[in-house]
Amino acid sequence: MALIFGLSSVSQTPTFVGGVDKPLHATLYAGLGALVVRALAGGWRQRITPAMVTGTIALAAAYGVSDEFHQSFVPMRSVEALDIAADAVGAAVAAFALYGWDIIRTRHGL
């Protein structure tokens, strides 16, 4: 979260191809989602439940909203609803991927 906050505090952002920064949002929030789902599970080898996946997506989306609000105070930055959507999608991809891996790991005794 501190990394995301720090990046959101920068006025001059790099220029993206076609002005689209959504893949960066999704990537950063996928990292956040992976950490949050594991924190909710209580560690790297602990079981993940659907409720934890849902909680992760909700927490990441809420942080995305707060991040966009924060950006509204940073010169030359703007608030975009699609950024929040990209944040939630990134977190969801990571949370569902770890949930799926948890199912595979458990069934195969890994």
Mean pLDDT of 83-108: 96
pTM summary value? 0.90
- Domain residues for 92? 44-110
Which H or E element spans position 102? Answer: helix 81-107
Instruction: Assess if residue 54 is contained within a domain.
Output: yes
Kindly tell me if the per-residue pLDDT of 21 is higher than 90: no
Share of the chain above pLDDT 70, in %: 95
Q: Is 1 domain-assigned?
A: no
SS3 of the chain: helix, strand, coil, percent, to 5: 70, 0, 30
In a domain, residue 68? The reply is: yes
Rounded distance, CA 57 to CA 59, Å?
Answer: 6
Distance CA 109, CA 58 (A): 30
Cβ(65)–Cβ(72) below 8 Å: no
Residue 60: closest CA among 83, 15, 92: 92
Average pLDDT of the segment spanning 54-80:
94
pLDDT at res. 109:
83
Q: Is residue 18 part of a domain?
A: no
Nearest one of 8, 21, 3 to 69, comparing CA atoms: 8
| 80 domain residue, yes or no | yes
Position 90 in a domain: yes
Look at the chain and count its residues. 110
